[in-house]
Structure 1
Amino acid sequence: MQLPAFLRRPRWRSLALLALLLAPLLWPLQQLAERYYLGELLQQNRQTLDLYVANLLGTLRRYEVLPQILGDLPALHNVLRQPGQAEAVAEANGLLKKIRERTGADSLYLMDAHGRTLAASNWDQPDSFVGRNFAFRPYFSEAMAGRQGQFFGLGTTSGKRGYYVAAALREGGEPLGVLVIKVDLDHTEQLWGNTPERLLATDKHGVVILTSHSDWRFRATRPLDADELAEIATKLPYPTRDPQPLQLNPGDWLIQQQHIEETGWTVRILAPRSLLERPVRAVLISGGAGLLVLMLLLSLLLQRRRHYLERIALDTRTRQELEHRVQERTQDLEELNRRLKREVLEREQAQQELVRAQDDLVQAGKLSALGTMSASISHELSQPLGAIRSYADNAGVLLDHERYPEARENLQQISQLTKRMALIIAHLKAFARRDRQAPESVALQPALEDALALLANRRRSLEVELIRDLPEATLWVQAGETRLRQVLGNLLANALDSLAERAPPRRLWLTTRLLDDGRISLSLRDNGPGFSAEALERAREPFYTTKTTARGLGLGLAICDSLVNALGGELLLANEPGGGALVTLNLQPATSAVGAQTVEDYP
């Protein structure tokens, strides 16, 4: 499908012309953004400046009243009256040190009327003020003149900056001395360093005394005249007598200031113009991005129709191809479905044949086991039959002689012997009948007794001592009546075969226990020769046997293992450390069956 030429290419020339027309709109956008963000920045800086000035004034005012309050302390007056008394000086030193610790001041010291320091809070430090004369400091002369002394400068002894507050101690209207408190403003200056703006405080000379930028400290913000330089040389407020000028380009900063009348200081906040340029640049970028998006939208609109027509043509071709492929795929699926149905039917038939073959194999195994036990069964039945014949003959003779009580006793013995024969036959019928496929609740102890009864004659002939450790309460397991008897019969028969290979004494232990996972475990242990290494590995293989062909085909343990696995159980083979084989049968527990059949109930 061929499209018109004007639809096959975007109109880039029109877009470029539109961009040229819209670009001048960015200039008024820049002006509006600068005006807005400048007002916001100035307002924010004014609030920051007011906050830091308030913090500075709060720190200074907290100490301004202390010299006047402390000037009435008797310990300080005693030192001024008796400067040579050691006890008075020691008491004053201790008092000033304690006051410094409580107020947080840098230091406190007491001078006499001549400026000599008599007591100080740092009297025990290497840079102690005791004995030093500070009469040259302006705060001393102001305090002696009756005014409050205020001064910011570098300590001549400690070398640390500080704000000095002083007041005279008077007695009878005459000044005795001056008490000075030095305030450390380093913490206040450290707070200033946490802002993106730069803050600085200058004294009356325009020299920076506090700043958030350490390189600006003690630099002059304006030229100093000769009188100011002379005053600086006399009072020594800075580490240098000729402060170097602070080189600042006013065009790089937005400057706001506030004057503090109490100290004569001026606090300034300097915000770099980058703080203003950054949001303005972001607005311009956003505006440019908006124009770009607008042009992209227009470009998309110009190409929308072309894409729409192409999509219609493509959808038509795709739909035709899809219909053709669906038709082919449907035919393939129908053929595949027919093949799958045939395979499923064949698999179901094979599965049914496999189940029948397995069932026939189990039945054959049971009949084979019955054949091996036929001698024992014949012996069990021949004894009561001979006794019945003897008791019947005797009963006839006794009746001829009219000895009726003795004849009745013989008949009772015949009845007891027939009951015994019926029980043996019931065991055989229970063992030989076909079992149901679904597991059911089966009593373990009766099934074990049935298997033992069928092998009782052989056990007695081998003189095998049977040691039982079974609970009195009936244990119910998930199994089939006949299959469980077949498994137990095979396991007991194998144990007797193993014991036949050794000399007496022969012992067979039967024990049960409850496992941690709730399963019921039956253990058969003998003192025979045990399993060989090869037997442990291959015992579950069909037709593997360690017996002669006359005594077995090697299907017993293979059938047992298959039956136990089908019932959800587990058959374990091992050797006892002390000798002999250990066979463990683990079965799933079941609830007691209502009306469960006993051996005598089997038809």
Structure 2
Amino acid sequence: MFTCIRKAMLLPGLVSWLIAPRSQGAAQEGASTFPAITRKRLIGIVLVLGALLAAGTVLYALGAHTVRSETADLEQHGRNRLEVYAAGLRNAIVRYDALPMVLADHPYILTLLRDPQSAEMRDVVSRYLARCIRESPDDLLFLLDVNGKVLAASNWNTPKSLIGKDYGYRPYFLQAKEGHQGRFYGIGLMTRQSGYFLSYPVRNEKGIVIGVVAIRINLDTLERQWPTSGDIVTVVDGNGIVILSTDQHYKWHVVAPLSSEVRHYLEESRQYEGRSDFPLLPLSERARIGDGAERAMLTQDGKSTPMLIQQQALEGLNWKMQTYNDLSKVRTEAEHEVFRAAMMLFGPLLLLLCWWQYQRRRKEQRQADNALEQVRDGFRNEIELRVGELADIQSRLRDEVVERQRLEGRMRVAQDKLLNAGRFSVLGQITSSVMRELGRPIAALRGLIGKLDENGGEVKRQIDGVVAQTERLAAFTIKLGEPAGRTDDQLEAVTLMQPIANTIALFDSQLRHQHVRLEIEEPEVPIYVTGNLVWLEQLFAVLIQHALDAVRTSPMPEIRIVVRCDGGRAQVNITDNGPGISDASSSSLFDPLALPRGERDRSGLALMTAQAIANDCGGHITVSNRDEGGAEFMLELSVVEAAG
């Protein structure tokens, strides 16, 4: 209620409006008018505060009246619900109240009790009991002998038949055995269903109790018929235990802690078989407000809700029925009522304030529009100025682009001249290397011709060697006449061992002269690589010559050539047992301009040429030092299938 009052009292703006100056002219008036303006404002403030106080008093009284009225309506609603639910519960029990007493005089019942061993009569009585309650299949009707053993039952043909069970300890049996009508509420030991038991003694002609007729009324069915939405309705037995509830969360709770005597009785009678824990209902701040009514806070899931609790005693059952009605609805309705009244009281004033605020906003908007227009004009002028500057910059950039293009043309001409000079320099280096390469075949020719005199039987083979070397000289001579950096030789599939064998034949005399032990490990299957026969002979000539130079100072010179195929790559490893590659020479080994000192006949130009040939054939050359001494050159080439 107070929240609604605070929502409705939105008049501090009016007070500030009264205190604020009406205009700049009023603020600039002389001291003679100041006392009069102050009195007017004070009068306005007093009137506003008085109106607020009166309105608050009216709203508070209205809220209090609404709370009382809604609470009274809620109490009446609770009483009506108690009457309806209590009548339904009493009817469910009373309709069978006389049935055990009527059956106690039935001939079938008396006949079975006189002869309890008769299976035929047991079957007849059980069927008769089932017909008696055929409209209520959830209820049970059964006959017990004087010792509490069940002789016949309406559920005789079900898995949970009571026939043969002993209920001599049950209070309803003990009451009937003593000659009284028995009443008892508990949980069935076989069915595990709660129910209300009615019993009546069966007497013989002498008035002696010879058995008991009992009926169990299943109240769970009635409980399931109660609506589960809305307020809570519970039934509390004489011990304060909630035995029925529209909200199953509160069933089997207690309204007050159970005494030790009550707990002992429950254990002996097995009234609530299987249940030993009965928690307290989560109620707090309980306060009685009338006959059979109280207020309390009910806590569920960590949330507390104000409740109106009403109860009514159920005559003849020693039970109480309770209803729990949510009082927060009363507070909500009171707040709505106060809010509606506040809107009626302050609505016109709020509309006036909204109109004044709207006019004020319009004035501020006009001022903001004027300021924005001024800013736009300034931006427009600034943009025009910047556009002119950008046009000048673009003109200068165009001139700079033309100048840059002219300089780039001159630079390209100078670059072409520099490249031509480089080509001529490289051509000189290559010519020197080729002439050096020509010296090796000529020396081989001289060696072969010398052998003609030493061994006449091999004249034919030596002459073939002379012819092969002569062809190589012709190939070198043709390449020497070509322009630098160009070749017309085509790449094709070449047997890798062919250029190796030709090169070894070229160095045969030098190998024997230096007493070099040469080992060749050939592959089992011929390997074909992409290349050119003349180029590959030049490549292997450079590598073998480098190995011969390296082992020149070795006491037992040795060169090893291993040819193998690893996946799609062919590898040729040429190793020697010379001094290896020094650290100073490793970084410039393939540099054509490097001239290492103290390393005889080693030329960076020759190795550069070999690396270039390997690259043209789709491979490359790597060099490293071996752990056991000497250097190792490894050539990798791409493997292809044999042509044709």
When normalised by structure 2's length, the TM-score is 0.47
When normalised by structure 1's length, the TM-score is 0.49
